[in-house]
Amino acid sequence: MTTAFARKLALTGYLGLIVWVALWHGLLSPHPELGAGFMLTMWLPWLFIPMRGMLKGNPYTHAWAVFLIMPYFLHSLTLLWVDEGERWLALVELLLATLMFVGNSYYAKLRGRELGLSIRKKKKD
């Protein structure tokens, strides 16, 4: 996998999740008991927390953004198991989250190597 391809995967998953969550919970299948608070909790962190670093191609941002994907994995896997009516919606979310996870992981690794960044090894006494 090349660095450019990994970045494309990461950005496709990232931008796709932003759009998909807004479409899903705003237009396609809004939940009657979940209002604007749920939408803000699920969507706004993506706009403000990693966007700048992701768009600039910062490998450090790509690395820690992997942790922001976990709620989307949990949400989609739960709905795949529980809700037959929204399985296809949850499957799209899972696919986008997986694209972002794989893309971010590889981009951080490959770009970090290109820049000479590494995790320091503990010195043996």
- pLDDT by position in tens, the chain (length 125): 899 999 999 999 999 998 888 888 777 877 777 777 777 777 777 777 898 999 999 999 999 999 988 888 998 999 999 988 888 999 999 999 999 999 999 999 999 888 887 766 667 76
Find the helix packing angle between 87-115 and 3-23, rounded to 10°. Answer: 150
DSSP H or E run through 15? helix 3-23
Rounded CA separation 103/5 (Å): 8
The pLDDT, as a whole number, for residue 107 is 95
Lookup: tokens for 35: 């209002």
Residue whose C-alpha is closest to residue 100's, from 4, 5, 1, 17: 17
Rounded CA separation 74/96 (Å): 13
Find the helix packing angle between 36-48 and 3-23, rounded to 10°. Answer: 160
Note if the pTM is more than 0.85: no
* Beta carbons within 10 angstroms of residue 38's beta carbon: 13
